Amino acid sequence: MEAPSMNIEDLFKAVQLLPAIRCLKFYHVAITGPFKITEDLVPVIPKLKIVFSSLKTGSDILDALLRRLSPSELHLQHAAIGLSDGSSSSFRPEAFKSVRSLHIGGVYTNEASQTEWTSPDMLSMCPADTLTTFGLGYDIDEHQLGEELRQFLAKKGRHIECLKIDYGHGAQVEPEAEAMHLVVDDVGRDGFGGMPPKWLTVKLSTTCPSLKHLSLFLFVDAEPLDKSKQSSAIFLWRYALRLIASAPKALVSVTVLYELARDVSYEDLDMSTICVVNWKQWD
């Protein structure tokens, strides 16, 4: 189903009629041009929150929208950004200078496959000294993306006080797979259990010394009745343990949100990967 479209000039005119607005949410919409925006068309809105979910637009339009409205909080969930003519990047630093709270759930270009993750383009444009809240959703098995996150936190994470990460879903591990011995390894190389060696170690006490609140979104899968196969979701839980252990002493809260696989009910949690976690490590 094609997303309904809205011209960016009409969007600014609508916002101009709502001077007290503090939050704009767009779901399954295409924001289009052409546009010619004058200064008197753009209202000044303090502490504005903008949420895009299933957005389709051009990089020039998104750039104009962010620079003119100057949101302090920005959520981008599954955004398809078309590159402007002659542009090698979808984003410019000026578009994010006002953002203090950034949440990215997947960004890709219209010219590329939807599996191509271009959120690093956006991360590279974020200012280093202003971001205090950061949330990111990505598939941890995409090892290059993990490296992008590690580099981002190392360069721009020192003022982040609230960090939220969704690592995606687990998958069934076949008995002949190389990862099977890691599933049954309760110790691993650092005491938290076996994990894929390509999963990067991030030391939050170094990258995010101001961190106070950590939220992790983890996946709970059912353990197959055939014990020769197990779910790799246990890796996510072990990785979370390692991440929490690396947090700075300033950390005051840890929130764990979890998604149940379709074949896991609340009554059957004892048959899922959640019961395999060494909970003593959380102390």
Alpha carbon distance 35, 261 (integer Å): 45
Cα atoms in the Cβ-side hemisphere of radius 13 Å centred on 122: 30
Where are any strands of DSSP class E within the chain? 5-7, 23-32, 49-58, 73-82, 101-104, 107-109, 133-137, 162-166, 172-173, 213-220, 230-231, 253-260
Asked if 139 and 199 count as a contact pair (C-beta separation under 8 A), the reply is no
- Domain residue spans of the chain: 5-281
The candidate with the shortest Cα–Cα distance to 119, out of 156, 167, 152, is 152
pLDDT at position 212, please? 96
CA distance 171 to 232: 5
- Is 190 in contact with 160 (CB distance < 8 Å)? no
pLDDT value at residue 40: 63
251 Cβ neighbours under 8 A, 6+ residues apart: 211, 212, 213, 214
Secondary structure of residue 52 in the 3-state scheme = strand
pTM as predicted: 0.81
Per run of 10 residues, the mean pLDDT along the chain (length 283 residues) is 79 85 89 70 80 84 86 85 60 80 73 52 77 84 70 90 81 62 76 78 92 87 60 78 90 85 66 66 58
pLDDT digits (tens, 9 = 90+) for 77-130: 877 777 765 555 556 677 888 889 998 876 655 555 444 445 666 777 787 788
